[in-house]
Structure 1
Amino acid sequence: MQKQALALTALALLAACATNRFEADVTRFHMAQPGLRGSVYLEPLDKAATGTLEFQNYASAVGAELAEHGFTVAPAREGAEYIGVLAYGQSTREGVGGGSPITIGIGGGTFGKNVGVGLGTSFGIGEKKTKETAINMLALKIERASDKSVLWEGRAVAEAGSTTRYGPLAAAVPALADALLRDFPGTSGQTVTYKSQ
């Protein structure tokens, strides 16, 4: 009985660890800008989100990470050296199979007038699971304020059980921001997987 109880406890601890584990796939594109730093004003890709509490919370998480790389978050667009455009979203997947339903065209107009971030819901083939998988995404484009030229852009995508620690988008964004800007500016054109607890 004691051995069985210990085995069950070990399984519970492993499950808890899996629940709290975070893994994000990060892809970045940029012109070589090793010394890129200065004042940056953050704004949402979706202008309707401007001023919302949700955007302010996400911008705060991204701003904190940018500050670690020499940026200063500007309180207003006027006077900022750079504009940082944020996009974020969540989709869910049920069942087995299928890749990420999030599609992002990155590089060469990721955030162009006619190109944006696509979010959708896909359903796998096979036996249906009772739990949903949340697919969370955070993307950032940094452009020079003076001429709108894009200097850096990237996106981080992570999956988690919808009821686990990193399932809600609000809980995942700080970890996504950390992964997105880790090793800034990062290797251009390469997808890197970052893991953390």
Structure 2
Amino acid sequence: MTDMKKTLLSIALALPLAACATTAPPSPVEVTRFHQTDSLAQLGQGAIFVVDAPAAQGKSEGSLELAPYKAAVARELAQLGYAESGRDGANHIAEVRLERFVLEGDDNRRGPVSVGVGGSTGGYRSGVGIGLGFNLGGGGSSERLGTEMAVVIRNVASNAVLWEGRARFEVGPDHPLAQPAANADVVADALFQEFPGGNGETIEVKVSQ
């Protein structure tokens, strides 16, 4: 093999590695939680039903996109002392809502293509109103996949909101943590760390690369 061919081969082999190296690393997960002081005694116990947040007008409920996030939330709630239950046997309901989107460039512009697949509700104090959707981008090296998940825990009998939390996370679209199951585990784990968390406090939870 000539020196020129060897050089060209080396460049060709290096290109995929360079492309992988440019994918955006995971950001910390930004987490904000809210709760009422008189509700703390009710948290972390009892039977709970994990459900999609009520659908916003014109959007469908029960998306497959939300399934790994609901499963991750259910696992975290079980570790906190809740017993997962069907709707009829639950005394608490956990409403999960989600948005996934593509951020382009350094100015955090969202990608232009969005497919709505779920619902949103406003928070009782935080104003969290995150719609469930998935935005499709072109996969450029400067793009980052963003995830915002919010969970509201309600008392079934009174429908009162006992706790609400929101987690936001960004990662390169080619990173393993961009995949739905791994992505869901990251945001759910961060959201419920040191539950119930400080009321109104925003923290950052570091993510392993």
Secondary structure of 2:28's aligned partner: strand
Can you list the C-alpha shifts for 1:139-169, whole angstroms capped at 9, x where unaligned? 1000000010000000100011111122244
Amino acid corresponding to residue 168 of structure 2 in structure 1: V
Q: Which residue number corresponds to residue 74 of structure 2?
A: 63
Moved >6 Å (runs of 4+): none
By how many angstroms is 1:107 displaced?
Answer: 3.7
Q: Which residue number corresponds to residue 163 of structure 1?
A: 174
Q: Which residue number corresponds to residue 25 of structure 1?
A: 30
Can you list the C-alpha shifts for 1:66-102, whole angstroms capped at 9, x where unaligned? 111111111x21120101100012111111224889x
**TM-score normalized by structure 1?**
0.73
Q: Which residue number corresponds to residue 43 of structure 1?
A: 51
Whether the 8 Å contact between 2:34 and 2:125 is mirrored in structure 1 is: no
Can you list the C-alpha shifts for 1:119-142, whole angstroms capped at 9, x where unaligned? 797xxxxxxx74311111111000
Secondary structure of 1:188's aligned partner: coil
By how many angstroms is 1:109 displaced?
Answer: 7.4
Amino acid corresponding to residue 130 of structure 2 in structure 1: V
Unaligned runs of 5+ in 1: 1-11, 122-128
Q: Which has the larger radius of gyration?
A: 2
Residue of 89, 98, 123 corresponding to 1:88: 98
By how many angstroms is 1:56 displaced?
Answer: 3.4
Amino acid corresponding to residue 137 of structure 1 in structure 2: E
Aligned positions, number? 170
Can you list the C-alpha shifts for 1:170-193, whole angstroms capped at 9, x where unaligned? 431111000001100000101010
- The yes-or-no answer on 1:77 pairing with 2:87 is yes
Quote the sequence identity (%).
Answer: 31
Amino acid corresponding to residue 191 of structure 1 in structure 2: T
Paired with 1:189 and 1:99, the residues of 2 have a C-alpha distance of 27
Unaligned runs of 5+ in 2: 1-17, 112-120
**TM-score normalized by structure 2?**
0.69
By how many angstroms is 1:106 displaced?
Answer: 4.0
- Between 131-140 and 90-99, report the one with greater CA deviation: 90-99
Paired with 1:56 and 1:149, the residues of 2 have a C-alpha distance of 25
Residue of 105, 130, 141 corresponding to 1:117: 130
